[in-house]
Chain A
Amino acid sequence: MACMNEDGQWIVLMGLLVAVGLFFLALIINQSALVGQTTAEGVLEFPKNDIRDLREAVFDYTDTFGSVDNGTTGAVRQDIAMISLERKNAVVNFSVESQVEVSDHYLYPITIHYYNGVTEYDENVYY
């Protein structure tokens, strides 16, 4: 073994370094698949448009009926709740109080509740 040319040993060393590097890279890639899945799910789950649709329906209702509470408005509120349940899979509830003065404007205080099992949204708004 004596007097052999040992100049090529760095190749073996580099091979080892690359192997260790690949091992850590594999670990990181393994983790990233999990992260990617949960993140994508989280973004998809937030029902932004559903909440906007509900707010629009509630504001339309307020434009038409104001804070009147009788058989007709009760039926309309029930219809909105049923349609939300059927189409958006969400339990919703809202109430409109009588007008109050806010900065020289007369506005209806509205409370909106939305829950679809993942996202719970509650809002108090003057309209």
Chain B
Amino acid sequence: MNDKAVSEAVGFVLILGIVISGIGLVTLYGYPVLVKEQSNTDVKNMERAMIVIQNDMKSLCFKNVPYKETSLQVSGGTFEVINASQYGCFINVTNGTTLFQKNYTVGALTYRSDRGTAVTTLENGAVMIRQDGATGSAMLAEPRWFYDNSTDTLVIYIMNITTDTLMAKSGMTTVRMGLEGSETQSIPVAPGDNVTVEYTSSPSGDYSTAWENYLTGASVGMQRSALNSYYERNDVKTLVIKEYRIKIHDI
């Protein structure tokens, strides 16, 4: 082979240049993508963990289990428990008259992502997600409210979360929760009266869109009334409200 004009030094500089440019490109474009992907994975994992906690809460409420523990890994964000009295979210239920009208507070378990804007919340037995700074929200796992066609009964479940102190954590977490008590109310609804539910979201996060979609969906079948965040259902003979008090002992 003819080796004229082949310089080892020029070749080395060229190869080194290509390698350094490669590293530069990866740092510039690849790293943010990797971080975003990592943050998405953390949020997805937390969504699953929230659904697991929701199932545990269902066991406490519907299957006569007195106490539950769930271990989960909270990464890329903070997981907090907010007491019902401090959360500021209300569900007001009436049987269409002024004789029965009651406000229920709920409390929440919330995960906020550090790197992204996603916020996942377990509120009143529903797992919901929203993006911080944007309106709108979606329900990932629904609570178990239902309407029975055969007996014209509407059953509403309220899950009230209480804690002794505000708690927040990231890393390895064990949620210890127990059922404090439950109350069942059976309220007759006169013909022509509509059961009305009003949802007031917490100042810390607006989940009214998720609740609206759920309440006007097939399982509950309510209609949005003229007033904002009021939902009505006709043809109900009996309104049943079951309120559960769940205490989070520790996370």
Contacts and interface: CB of A to CB of B under 8 A. Distances in A.
A85 B240 contact: yes
B71 interface: no
Contacts of B146: 115-117
DSSP majority for the B interface? Answer: mixed
Nearest to B153: A91
B228 interface: no
A31 to B, nearest CB: 13
Contacts of B184: 85-86
Interface in B43-64: 48, 51-52, 55, 61-62, 64
Interface string B176-207: 00000000101000000000000000000000
A93 B145 contact: no
Contact of A89 (B51, B55, B62): B62
Contacts of B64: 87
Nearest to B154: A91
Interface in A48-79: none
Nearest to A118: B144
B68 interface: no
B2 interface: no
DSSP majority for the A interface? Answer: mixed
A103 interface: no
Nearest to A34: B48
Contacts of B145: 117
Most chain B beta-carbon contacts within 10 A, residue among A33, A87, A116: A116
Interface in B141-177: 144-146, 148, 150-151, 153, 155
A126 to B, nearest CB: 20
B73 interface: no
B70 to A, nearest CB: 13
B43 to A, nearest CB: 15
B155 A91 contact: yes
Contacts of A113: 150-151
Contacts of A80: none
Given A41-B55, A117-B145, A118-B144, A85 B186 contact: yes
A117 B125 CA distance: 14
B219 interface: yes
Interface of A: 33, 37, 41, 82, 85-87, 89, 91, 93, 113, 115-118, 122
Interface of B: 48, 51-52, 55, 61-62, 64, 144-146, 148, 150-151, 153, 155, 184, 186, 219, 240, 242
19 contacts: A37-B48, A37-B51, A37-B52, A41-B55, A82-B186, A85-B155, A85-B184, A85-B186, A85-B240, A86-B184, A87-B64, A91-B148, A91-B155, A113-B150, A115-B146, A116-B144, A116-B146, A117-B146, A117-B219
In the A-B complex, the 9 residue pairs with the smallest Cβ-Cβ separation, listed nearest first, are: A117-B146, A117-B144, A91-B148, A115-B148, A91-B153, A89-B62, A113-B150, A93-B151, A86-B184
